[in-house]
Structure 1
Amino acid sequence: MKVVAFARSQQGTGASRRLRNSGKMPGIIYGASTAPKLIELDHNALYHAINKEAFHSSILDLEIAGVTEKVLLRDVQYHPFRRLVLHVDFQRVDEKKKITVKIPLHYMSQEVSPAVKLSGGVIMHVLNEIEASCLPSNLPEFIEVDLGNLELNQSLHAQDVKLPSGVDLTLHFAQENPVIVSTTLPASMVLDNADEFLEGGAPVT
């Protein structure tokens, strides 16, 4: 994905306000042992790009004055209530060094899982992304997680995810293995079962 930016010489609150009033927005590029560079971008073009999932998890081609750099989107600052991006941070990418990034999870086949199809359960997505490290060339746009065999009251953890070749799960603690998906009965079915049990009937299974 390509992003076109322009060098920015002025900084400060007043300069940023004037920039936004002209339909542009401030940003910065940093990293890769190179001095940070102030940039400005077209607000509307970037706003639409930011709404695409791939823009947050892909290596981007950032062009300034005909020179292209490989970057990752690292931070976005939004206006508290207006549909307005206030500032963006991009990090330069070294093709020979691993990067750590949050990768979206796409859950597949959940409607045919035993938890849903046979037991009438619901699947709760606890996490919609996981943090992983890899070389830039191995970075996937997303990771598919097959839920076709998921049973009622079963959970999947981060370490259960099958990662693409060259991609490693990033865990910050030795025992860390967070739940990404869990299954349970809908609250209405739980209440119905409880009522039937109190009335002396056999609970529904």
Structure 2
Amino acid sequence: MATQHIIKASLRKDEGKGASRRLRRAGQVPAIVYGGHQDPLSIQFEHHAIYHASNSEWFYSAIIDLDMGNETQKVILRDMQRHPFKQQIMHLDFQRISADEAIRVSVPLHFLNQEKSPAGKSSDVVITHELNEVEISCLPKDLPEYIEVDLSALKQGDTVHLSEIKLPAGVSITELKLGKEHDVAVVIARHGRVEEESSAETEGEGEDK
């Protein structure tokens, strides 16, 4: 069962750039909730609390319960604007979800047993993770916070593609619906010397230009 993530929010009446600046000076973060066949809703968060939540992996892929006192709405994060150099969140966009409507969300990949694999035990093999997250489609009840990729059998020369990832029930990878050419590599185990030669060739090409 997925972990429930609750974040407190409050409604905001003032809108516009001036109002948003005043909120930020007061330690608040302006945000908006949209979708779900309802009107957009302007809300705000206490910056310290939302910044702390944003440092967790689940914040970007899990269903969040927005607790607004008199009601709770289930949402997913769709956009976050950060200050260019300060540790400050400037604005957040959330989308409401409906239990009977599929959603598309990018979820992180967790790579398991790499060190225990034949490739991981070999000092001559370089393992690269070509992707660290993948976009999936599913009903909200089936949304995983992450997807595990078991690399225990990975050997030198192996390539793990999107289609080889074991998915939870009810979950599909959106990229694979576009055709076989979109079945890209997720993990590659190359001989270390091949990796070095490839890097040297790339550097040489840059010098010729």
- The alignment partner of 1:70 has SS state of strand
Specify the alignment match of 2:187 in structure 1: 181
TM-score of the two chains, using structure 1 as the length reference: 0.88
Specify the alignment match of 2:201 in structure 1: none
What percent of counterpart residues are identical?
44
Alpha-carbon distance between aligned partners in 2 of 1:182 and 1:189, rounded to the nearest angstrom:
11
One-letter code of the match for 1:183? A
One-letter code of the match for 2:192? P
Structure ID, larger Rg: 1
Q: Which runs of 5+ in 2 are unaligned?
A: 198-209
Specify the alignment match of 2:32 in structure 1: 28
- The alignment partner of 1:111 has SS state of coil
Contact 2:124-2:193 at 8 Å conserved across structures: no
Q: Which runs of 4+ in 1 moved over 6 A?
A: none
CA-to-aligned-CA distance 1:80-127 (integer Å, 9 cap, x gap): 111110000110010111111011100001011111214631211111
- The alignment partner of 1:34 has SS state of coil
Alpha-carbon distance between aligned partners in 1 of 2:165 and 2:51, rounded to the nearest angstrom:
31
Contact 1:119-1:152 at 8 Å conserved across structures: no
Alpha-carbon distance between aligned partners in 2 of 1:189 and 1:177, rounded to the nearest angstrom:
22
Alpha-carbon distance between aligned partners in 1 of 2:49 and 2:196, rounded to the nearest angstrom:
48
Alpha-carbon distance between aligned partners in 1 of 2:155 and 2:140, rounded to the nearest angstrom:
36
Specify the alignment match of 2:131 in structure 1: 127
TM-score of the two chains, using structure 2 as the length reference: 0.86
1:151 to 120, 143, 155: 155
Alpha-carbon distance between aligned partners in 2 of 1:189 and 1:176, rounded to the nearest angstrom:
24
One-letter code of the match for 2:120? V
Q: Which runs of 5+ in 1 are unaligned?
A: 192-205
Specify the alignment match of 1:166 in structure 2: 170
Alpha-carbon distance between aligned partners in 1 of 2:41 and 2:193, rounded to the nearest angstrom:
53
Specify the alignment match of 1:94 in structure 2: 98
Alpha-carbon distance between aligned partners in 2 of 1:150 and 1:7, rounded to the nearest angstrom:
51
Tell me the matched-pair count. 191
- The alignment partner of 1:151 has SS state of coil
Alpha-carbon distance between aligned partners in 2 of 1:186 and 1:83, rounded to the nearest angstrom:
39
